[in-house]
Amino acid sequence: MNNLRRTTQLFMLLAGLPVVVYAVFASASWMEPIRYPDTAVFLKCGSAEGFQQLLVCGRPITAALMYRAFGNDPDAIILFQTVVALAAWIFTAASVSFFAQRLITRIVAFNAVMAVYVLFGFHTLNSALMADSLGASLTVVLIGFAALYVRTGRYLWMLILVFIAWANVRDTNAWAALSIAETCVAVSLVYKSSRQRYAAIALAAALSAIPFFVIDAATASLGVHQRWVFPFFNNIGQRILTDPEATRFFEDRGMPVSEALRSRAGTWGVERRLVFLQIARA
């Protein structure tokens, strides 16, 4: 039986090797660092001196730790994100494929999951100096461990640890964790026979998001998050500059207006990575 299992695993490895190799080459083609407007905040986390400064750098702790660990080295961060992404997708592809009973179905399932990584552009996230790649990778690992737990009843602690890391890698993940908790509470009220299980899941989901919300509340007055910046620029580009009367209203009250700024009418704050207040002085 053990020999048969090993032979099956070896055959699956060989059958899935081409798509894995393709995924590696696809990832390798996206190794040039791409900076976004939010990148500056992540780099601030990487320059934090001491754990206390790291907590107040303006980004969730999981992402902040990654940037601090690599000292803001773009190449090291991208390489790390790429390796983690490939490992995460291969692991989850294998975990999901073992739900199938037949060997050919397992091979198809494995290759299908790996194809999603490339065809839907997840490999392109690895070059971004943000937290999107790490967030996507942790989501995939979470699915993999959930599949293993459902199938074997094991790896619960790994599932919980990955969920905590996932909940604290991006702001939206923490809110999603709370949404999961609320959903489980609602389901537990309907299915009374499983109330304890759903209540436990709800408690774990809520607790996992606590670090983010505690830090977020403590740093709200420091202005480090800069979450208002792009909505502010969007309002200028979409609502003010497109309306001559509104533009004149703000210009009369001290807003610098130039031809470069007027050319931004109808655009969004992140387009071409320009900052409105810089081009206003052009």
Report residue 149 as tokens.
Answer: 């737990």
In this structure, how many other beta carbons lie within 10 angstroms of the beta carbon of residue 106?
23
SS3 content of the chain, % helix, strand, coil (to 5): 75, 0, 25
Separation between Cα atoms, residue 133 and residue 141, nearest integer Å: 12
Q: What percent of the chain has pLDDT over 90?
A: 18
Separation between Cα atoms, residue 184 and residue 201, nearest integer Å: 7
Q: How far is CA 33 from CA 29, 65, 66, 137, 260, in A?
A: 11, 19, 16, 18, 28
| Cβ atoms of residues 97 and 109 within 8 Å | yes
Q: Identity (one letter) of the amino acid at 181?
A: A
Query: pLDDT per residue over 2-14, tens digit each?
Result: 554 555 555 555 5
Rounded to two decimals, the pTM is 0.76
Which pLDDT does position 280 carry in this prediction? 45
Separation between Cα atoms, residue 221 and residue 244, nearest integer Å: 35
Separation between Cα atoms, residue 170 and residue 166, nearest integer Å: 8
Token pair 């303006």 is at which residue?
Answer: 58
Q: How does residue 15 score in pLDDT terms, banded at 50, 70 and 90? A: low
Query: pLDDT per residue over 26-56, tens digit each?
Result: 888 778 888 876 787 788 888 877 776 677 6
Separation between Cα atoms, residue 221 and residue 45, nearest integer Å: 17
Element (H or E) spanning 177, and its range?
Answer: helix 171-190
Separation between Cα atoms, residue 97 and residue 11, nearest integer Å: 13
Residue spans per domain, the chain: 2-170, 229-279
For residues 6 and 77, the model is more confident at 77
Separation between Cα atoms, residue 127 and residue 125, nearest integer Å: 6
Query: pLDDT per residue over 204-231, tens digit each?
Result: 788 887 777 776 666 655 555 566 677 7
Instruction: Share the mean pLDDT of the chain.
Output: 80
Which pLDDT does position 281 carry in this prediction? 45
Query: pLDDT per residue over 100-152, tens digit each?
Result: 777 778 888 888 898 899 889 899 999 998 899 999 999 999 999 999 988 88
In this structure, how many other beta carbons lie within 10 angstroms of the beta carbon of residue 119?
11
For residues 74 and 44, the model is more confident at 74
Which pLDDT does position 201 carry in this prediction? 76
For residues 169 and 31, the model is more confident at 169
